Amino acid sequence: MKGLDRGTILVTGASGGIGGAIVRHLVAEGADVLASGRDGDRLAALAAETGCDTVVFDLASEESVRAAIEGRDLFGVVNCGGFGGEIATPMETDIEVFDKVITINARGALLVTKYASREMIRRGQGGVIVNVSSQASLVALRGHISYGSSKAALDNITRVSALELGPHGIRVNSVHPTVVMTPMSAWYWGRPEIEGPFLQTMPLGRWATEDEIAAPVVFLLSDGASMISGAALPIDGGFTAV
């Protein structure tokens, strides 16, 4: 896609399934990709497969984020790093888990945005940031008090960043995926009493694939989306529309 060759695109959470798929799609489109995460072995395997560059840093550490980003000629960022936390009601939630979810999903994305946008402004060529949010920020999901709250905070980071960074030619958008049925998510979403009622209310009636999340992210990074900023794009089979 046009516009993906204007500088390095940083993808956080690239050692996970969706992040890895985004890296693969971007490399296939000719982008220069910097894949980041905490699992160096998985990043090394992704680099061997795709030819991307890698960097290991901790989203919970401002110093780690700053050291990884400062001085890089970034044009794009995909904030895909995240932590699922727990399934709990407001009455049962573990506040330490809540704090960790907020720290990684919201604070971590803000830290990446803080330092990446500085480099984009330094280059003077604009830029694009795509935040991977969730359907859980758009509607109430049982058991998702921590995760949904963190993604709702990320949505505000998206909107305010679009407002503040727009004058520098930097676009900021979010995507809101439904569940991708991985082994990590199957323990909860794969339960018949959870999966059945959920899919019955979704117009498309099926879970998403990693590629179905990655493709819209790549579009938002491209020139095809050059007038889109501050938008929230559900990738949820219509679930949040009903």
Residues marked as catalytic = 147, 151
* Cβ–Cβ under 8 Å, residues 180 and 207: yes
Distance from C-alpha of 223 to C-alpha of 86, rounded to nearest angstrom: 38
* Cβ–Cβ under 8 Å, residues 126 and 168: yes
Q: Locate all alpha helices (DSSP H) within the chain, ordered by sequence.
A: 17-28, 40-50, 62-69, 95-102, 108-123, 145-165, 183-189, 192-201, 210-221
Render 125-159 in DSSP notation, one character per residue. Answer: S-EEEEEE--GGGTS--TTBHHHHHHHHHHHHHHH
DSSP 189: H
Determine the 3-state secondary structure of 110 from DSSP.
helix
Hey, what's the torsion of the CAs at 172, 176, 182, 185, to 10 degrees?
A: 120
What does residue 78 show for φ and ψ, rounded to 5 degrees?
A: -120, 110
74: enclosing H helix or E strand? strand 74-79
Length of the chain, in residues: 242
Q: Which of 127, 200, 221, 85 is nearest to 233 (CA)?
A: 221
